[in-house]
Amino acid sequence: MKIIPLSVPTPFYVGDVNVYLIKEEPLTLVDTGPKTEKAKAVLREKLRDNGVQFSDICRIVLTHAHEDHCGLAKQIRDEAKSAEIFVHEWETGHLFGRLQSEEHRRLLEKSSVPLQVFNEMRDVYLDISLLTDVLSDGDFSFLSDESELEFASGTLKVLHTPGHTPGSCSLVREANRTIIAGDTVLKRITPNPIISPDPVNSEKRFKSLAEYLVSLAKIRSYAPTLVYGGHGEPIYDYEEIFNRYVREIDERQRNVVALVSAEGVTAYETARKLFPNAIDKDVHRFLAISETVAHLDYAEQTGKIAVEMKDGSEFYRKN
């Protein structure tokens, strides 16, 4: 099976995103790049270098619904009249305009993010949301865990690998233990768990870090020889990356728990202490809060700290 990585520019700090062309019947793209003229032109050109046009694409599979990965899905689908878009059901919250402000406002309110800070963050989201087209019901089909995508020479197995987002998926080629992992595994950076409503109960928060650790182990169980991430170079040493992630998560977990006092702290206060340089900067602020909340949730789930509600906000205390 011929999997061809195509690097496409994004306006994000992370740099280029990897789109994967699976050059086999039915001609498939895994992720698309953001909705910018530049990304579209680069992708069109790189496909052309491989003898493929947008109109030839039959299937678009999205590893998750972040704008840098799904932005062009609708435009490519519209050019390739019959192409079908696939995404996990738990990503649809993102697809209908990613940051549904009300749900996110409630989540961030619980974490004691001041309203003014939330409003500034929302302005940043609005800019980011322009980097994708909104898909409606009927525009896509669902990917489900353990299902198989058929190709002329074999199959790719879908693995639901939640964590980075609730509906993140990886694709496994079992014949040669190759995995396309989206943003679940990245060569140079540890992926950030993004604060999200729980897909099953939007009043609750998705416990991203616990899910993420399970997903990393699930990928490991395939003993992959090659992992294609959503950004950066391919990974030939998953075991090393896995150990590094676990070490880094462990260390951050200890740092977060150390910031939780006996009197009680909010998530926002903890994020300010943990990321003093990132907390006042646009998108970094959102990532800093997401990371902190993910760690506080995990510390609470594993019995290291306790949480209680006071006036609509969560207070964390040492156990």
User: Least Å distance between CB 287 and Zn ion?
Assistant: 11
H or E segment and range at residue 140: strand 140-143
Q: How many CA atoms lie within 13 A of 220 on its CB side?
A: 13
User: Least Å distance between CB 230 and Zn ion?
Assistant: 6
Q: Quick one: which segment of 178-186, 204-212, 246-254, 294-302 binds Zn ion (CB under 5 A)?
A: 178-186
Residue bearing tokens 């549904």: 100
Is residue 133 involved in binding Zn ion (CB under 5 A)?
no
User: Least Å distance between CB 67 and Zn ion?
Assistant: 9
Q: Quick one: which segment of 24-32, 58-66, 195-203, 219-227 binds Zn ion (CB under 5 A)?
A: 58-66
User: Per-residue string for binding with Zn ion, 12-51, x by CB under 5 A?
Assistant: ----------------------------------------
Q: How far apart are CA 14 and CA 84, in angstroms?
A: 28
Q: Cis link prior to 9 (omega < 30° from 0)?
A: no
- What is the total count of residues that contact Zn ion (CB under 5 A)? 2
Q: Closer to Zn ion by CB, 66 or 295: give it.
A: 66
User: Least Å distance between CB 183 and Zn ion?
Assistant: 4
Terminal C-alpha separation, the chain: 52
b/e code 86-104 from CB counts within 10 Å (16+ = b) = bbbebbbbbbeebbeeebb
Is residue 91 involved in binding Zn ion (CB under 5 A)?
no
Q: Quick one: which segment of 31-39, 46-54, 176-184, 257-265 binds Zn ion (CB under 5 A)?
A: 176-184
Is the separation of the CB atoms in 255 and 160 below 8 Å? no
User: For residue 258, what are the CA distances in angstroms to 84, 207, 295, 297, 306?
Assistant: 48, 20, 12, 14, 13
User: Least Å distance between CB 64 and Zn ion?
Assistant: 6
Residue bearing tokens 């704008």: 67
Is residue 66 involved in binding Zn ion (CB under 5 A)?
yes
Q: Out of 67, 91, 133, 183, name the contact with Zn ion by CB under 5 A.
A: 183
User: Least Å distance between CB 14 and Zn ion?
Assistant: 8
Is residue 67 involved in binding Zn ion (CB under 5 A)?
no
Q: How far apart are CA 65 and CA 298, in angstroms?
A: 24
Length of the chain: 319
Residues of the shown chain interacting with Zn ion in the complex, contacts defined by CB under 5 A: 66, 183
